Structure 1
Amino acid sequence: MQNRLMELLLFYPLFLFSLSFHEAAHGFMAEKFGDRTARIFGRITLNPLAHMDIVGTVMLPIFGILTGAPVIGWGKPVPVDPSEFRGDVRRSSLWVAAFGPLSNFFLAVVFAILVRLTYAAVPYILPNLVPGGVLSSVIGISLSIFEMGVILNLVLGIFNMIPLPPLDGGTVLRGILPVASLRGYDKFSRYSFFILLALFVSGLLRYMLIPVFFVANYLLP
């Protein structure tokens, strides 16, 4: 239990940062397409308080950390007004949705680079390391955080790309489907919450970890 609490102290702030980055990325891209709604509502920020959802930002991720289950979650939906978009609305909506998961994949690469840089620096500072000393502890904790950052952001990115609304993947899929298919897809979308709930309760979401660990093995030394 003590280890789980330590993971919570290290992991949850990292989760809040990654989630805030994800949500701010949606607002940033919407603004690039002409919609300033997210800016007006203060959602283009890394302040996690602006993005918190009691279930997706607090209850579910903390449950995952404390139980060892996959850490998934979401923030409050970023307000977007498609009528403000310049150009093709479906294309703009697709990119606004996709930019959230893409921002997590970007963070995963950044954290992987930090892991590699830390390992590369160790031989140069090894003579100054004292087992159990402050510097050793700082390096160890930093590596744990960076490695967690890779895994967490891959999980968030892949989870949000599941092609079911209200996840980003649902909006992306809607943006690439033929117009003739949209009515049927919108009808199917009514059941997406129950499908996601079934995936979570049945444990099938754990299979999402297969591509996560495959990519992580490629990114990490």
Structure 2
Amino acid sequence: MDVAYLIYLLIQAAALILGLCVHESAHALAAWALGDKTARSRGRVSLNPLAHIDPFGTVLLPLIMIVLGGPVFAFAKPVPVYLGNLKHPKRDEVLVALAGPLSNIALSCIATALLAALGQMTIPSTEWFRVIYYVADFLQVLMLVNLSLSFFNLIPLPPLDGSSILVPFLKGEALNTYYQIQRYAMPILIIVLYLLPQILHIDLVGLYFNVTVYPLFDLLQGLALG
């Protein structure tokens, strides 16, 4: 395997794992702040990857998708939240859900600031240039990965975070149907990510990213690189 490609994969993996850890920790931290200590008691307010990694969703599934050549999708262990412990269950469920995507946007902004600072550094030697090059590459990947995680999770499809925005507006049978749909989330995501683009040549996620993730990434990259 080409060394440059291996480094590229490692950078992608590190950015994805960091983004997932921040995302899940934000969910746990928000739940704790709003009255539910369950996730905190299970060590989920942590940037330690071992606290969040799901062997299938975080490791095996992305590898399979890379081999198949399709879009890469990954997920961490769900953060346990007991709505009955929250002070205002319906409202707080939305706040806990939004904490994850917002944390990824915040991490993208931090990476932007670090990249801008890196661009102002004086490079003392050729060896340092190579190190700074890889750090800059990592920060740009971190920006894009976290924007992708944020906006993908804002899609209003169970069990993605964006679907929780619907909860305050659902009652009775509609709410029960919403929770039942969550059981079929993986087949639905596979259809949206793979079958529609492959069979009908309709890339809904790509179209969505074209008006959300990529313009914002270009903006942040422009700010960082001047």
Mapped partners of 1:59, 1:208: distance in 2 = 26
Unaligned runs of 5+ in 2: 198-202
What amino acid sits opposite 2:83 in the alignment?
P
Identity %: 34
Identify if the C-alpha distance between structure 1 residues 112 and 66 changes in structure 2 by more than 3 Å, giving closer, same or farther: farther
* Structure 2 CA distance for partners of 1:7 and 1:157, relative to 1, 3 Å: same
Q: 1:141 to 1:67 in 2, by over 3 A?
A: farther
Pick from 136, 161, 171 the counterpart of residue 179 of structure 1: 171
Matches within 5 A, 1:166-205: 166-175=159-168, 177-179=169-171, 181-202=174-195, 203=197, 204=203, 205=205
Q: What is the CA distance between 1:160 and its match in structure 2? A: 1.0
User: 1:157-200 deviations in whole A, cap 9, x for unaligned?
Assistant: 1111111111111222223x243643454455554432211012
Shift of 1:75: 0.6
TM-score normalized by structure 1? 0.86
Alpha-carbon distance, 1:213 to partner: 1.0
Amino acid at match of 1:110: I
Q: Does the Cα contact within 8 Å between 2:26 and 2:100 map onto a contact in 1?
A: yes
C-alpha separation between the residues in 1 aligned to 2:108 and 2:86?
29
The one-letter amino acid of 2:53's match is M
Aligned length: 212
Partner Cα distance (2:68, 2:6) in 1: 11
TM-align CA RMSD = 2.1
Measure, in 1, the Cα distance between the counterparts of 2:66 and 2:107: 20
In 1, Cα distance between equivalents of 2:83 and 2:208: 31
Do structure 1's residue 162 and structure 2's residue 162 form an aligned pair?
A: no
User: Which residue does 2:101 correspond to in 1?
Assistant: 101
Q: What CA deviation, in whole Å up to 9, does each residue of 1:69-95 have, x standing for no partner?
A: 544311111111111111x21101111
C-alpha displacement at 1:46, in angstroms?
0.6
Do the aligned residues in 1 keep the contact of 2:71 with 2:193 (CA within 8 Å)? no
Contact map agreement 1:112 1:220 (CA 8 A) in 2: yes
Q: Which residue of 1 aligns with 2:55?
A: 54
Question: Deviations along 1:127-178, whole A, 9 cap, x unmatched?
Answer: x3x4xx2110121111101100100000111111111111111222223x24
Give the TM-score normalised by structure 2: 0.84
Cα pair distance change 1:190/1:82, threshold 3 Å: same
Q: Cα deviation per residue 1:77-126 (whole Å; 9 max; x = unaligned)?
A: 1111111111x21101111111011111111111111112222x14xx15
Q: Tell me whether 1:141 sits opposite 2:134 in the alignment.
A: yes
